[in-house]
């Protein structure tokens, strides 16, 4: 079973979208909490005020990335690093500016 999930920052509404094949989503989230985590979820988790939402579950592994990309592209305030893929130039520029603000909010250098 594939699960698409959201890690939502309760302080500012930013979120991270991810997917997992693990039976228990809590196991996947524990990897986000690990100090070696290098994805954007790290900054939401470190903030400490977040919740995890299950967005979708399905069996077909061949549509995993397509469904994850759908949620990344359609959920507001998504900070996923790979969100620029597939966007036109104007949307890329806006996304870049948004990510720049996110970097300043979280005081990170990506």
Q: Which residue has the higher pLDDT, 93 or 4?
A: 4
* Cα–Cα distance, 1 to 79 (Å, whole number): 25
Residue with tokens 């603000």: 101
Give the per-residue pLDDT at 36: 75
What are 33's two structure tokens?
């909490």
Q: Using 50, 70 and 90 to split pLDDT, how confident is the model at 52?
A: very high
* Cα–Cα distance, 53 to 55 (Å, whole number): 6
**Which residue ranges make up each domain of the chain?**
2-80
Please indicate, yes or no, whether the overall pTM of this predicted structure exceeds 0.85. no
Please name the CATH architecture into which domain 2-80 falls: 3-Layer(aba) Sandwich (3.40)
Mean pLDDT value of segment 29-48? 78
57-103 pLDDT, tens digit per residue, is 999 999 999 999 899 989 988 888 655 555 555 665 666 566 667 66
């Amino acid at each position: 079973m594939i699960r698409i999930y959201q890690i939502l920052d309760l302080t500012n509404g930013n979120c991270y979208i991810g997917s997992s094949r693990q039976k228990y989503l809590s196991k996947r989230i524990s990897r986000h909490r690990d100090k070696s985590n290098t994805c954007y979820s790290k900054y939401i988790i470190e903030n400490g005020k977040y919740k995890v939402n299950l967005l979708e579950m399905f069996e077909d592994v061949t549509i995993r990335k397509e469904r994850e990309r759908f949620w990344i592209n359609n959920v507001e305030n998504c900070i996923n690093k790979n969100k620029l893929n597939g966007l036109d130039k104007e949307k890329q520029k806006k996304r870049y500016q948004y990510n720049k603000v996110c970097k300043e909010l979280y005081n990170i250098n990506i």
